[in-house]
Amino acid sequence: MIGTVATGILVLALLYVAQSIFAPLVFSLFVIALVWPCQATLQRWLPKLLALLITLSITMVAIVAIGSSVAWGFSKLAQWLFVNADRFQTVYVDWTDWLEGHGLAVAGPLTDRFDVTWLVRFVQGMAGRLNSFAGFTLLVFIFIMLGLLEVEDFNARLITPAAQPYGMRILTANRVIGSKLRRFMIVRTFASALTGLVVWLFALGAGLELAAAWGAIAFALNYIPFLGPFVATALPTLFAIAQFDSWQTAVVIFVSLNVIQFIIGSYLEPRLAGASLAVSPFAVIFAVFFWSFMWGISGAFIGVPILIAFVVYCAGTPSGNWVATLLSGSSNTTADRGA
């Protein structure tokens, strides 16, 4: 038992240290699971390399579109902050004076350390990280290209007698994982697009500046459960405080944005996803924060897909079925295994 725990810790340490390789590799495996049906369908009618070129083009356009939307949104926020930083400074000073007037002296030390430019640097840093995804995207492109070329050969090796009994187990699990991940991404993309559209319309109706940027950020960050919607809700609220100079208006915007996120994320999306994708909410939160700690933004994005794959692999082995049962949002893991 101690040896197993030590091995697990060493593996996680390796994944953390070598994240520049493992993060794009795992991300590319996730993408391959999503786009392989497209590649397989095109190969029936077109030469393999031409089908690969079309699949890669579609895939990279989708990845760049999502990354560019949030990068553009944060760039717009950085520009707005640079011009209107004095608004935040004024609001902050007024609030700290009010707190100190009511006996909350803790605001004093905070005022000494506060500099509104840290918020500008934060937003600019976020946009810079997203714009620096060029190297990450290049590695992902290479891994996806090589992986799509090898899927058929790899599946053929899994069904050879020398690979049994594990080969068929892995092949079956991979097919279930691919099906679940495709359904997960279809539902998540629909929910993200709907969230971005509704947030944009709400921001326009409320008179909130940078409405298009808020919609783009809400769309892209909605792919990250819990953490993404929180950021997409908190940032417009902070900007509303500076724009309207009224905490009542900011509260209304905060509540309204949370209602939007709740209706789409907690009511509509689970019904579209179905029971086969049910995973423990605690496990989802842990996966998002853990993989964001390990691999940053890319880890937060693929944390839930990694969790889904882990649950499926555990459910496919007698010794790990109890783990799948604990992590699943449904006790019927045996039925979900073949979904």
139: pLDDT strictly greater than 90: no
Quote the pLDDT of residue 107: 47
- Could you tell me if residue 6 is inside a domain? no
- pLDDT bracket for residue 334 (50, 70, 90): very low
- Could you tell me if residue 66 is inside a domain? yes
Each residue's pLDDT tens digit, 20-50 = 888 899 999 999 999 999 999 998 888 888 9
- Could you tell me if residue 10 is inside a domain? no
- Could you tell me if residue 324 is inside a domain? yes
**CA distance linking residue 77 with residue 127, whole number of Å:** 9
Quote the pLDDT of residue 333: 47
225: pLDDT strictly greater than 50: yes
- Could you tell me if residue 11 is inside a domain? no
Nearest to 339 by CA among 173, 151, 163, 200: 173
Lowest mean pLDDT among 42-46, 197-201, 321-325: 321-325
- Could you tell me if residue 13 is inside a domain? no
Cα 179 to chain centroid, rounded: 19
**CA distance linking residue 96 with residue 94, whole number of Å:** 6
- Could you tell me if residue 8 is inside a domain? no
Residues of the chain with pLDDT > 90, as a percent, come to 21
At what angle are helices 227-244 and 166-206 packed, to 10 degrees? 10
- Could you tell me if residue 192 is inside a domain? yes
Nearest to 30 by CA among 307, 318, 302, 322: 302
**CA distance linking residue 338 with residue 303, whole number of Å:** 22
Lowest mean pLDDT among 22-31, 46-55, 110-119, 316-325: 110-119
**CA distance linking residue 328 with residue 325, whole number of Å:** 5
What domain range is 26 assigned to? Answer: 21-337
Question: Count of domains in the chain?
Answer: 1
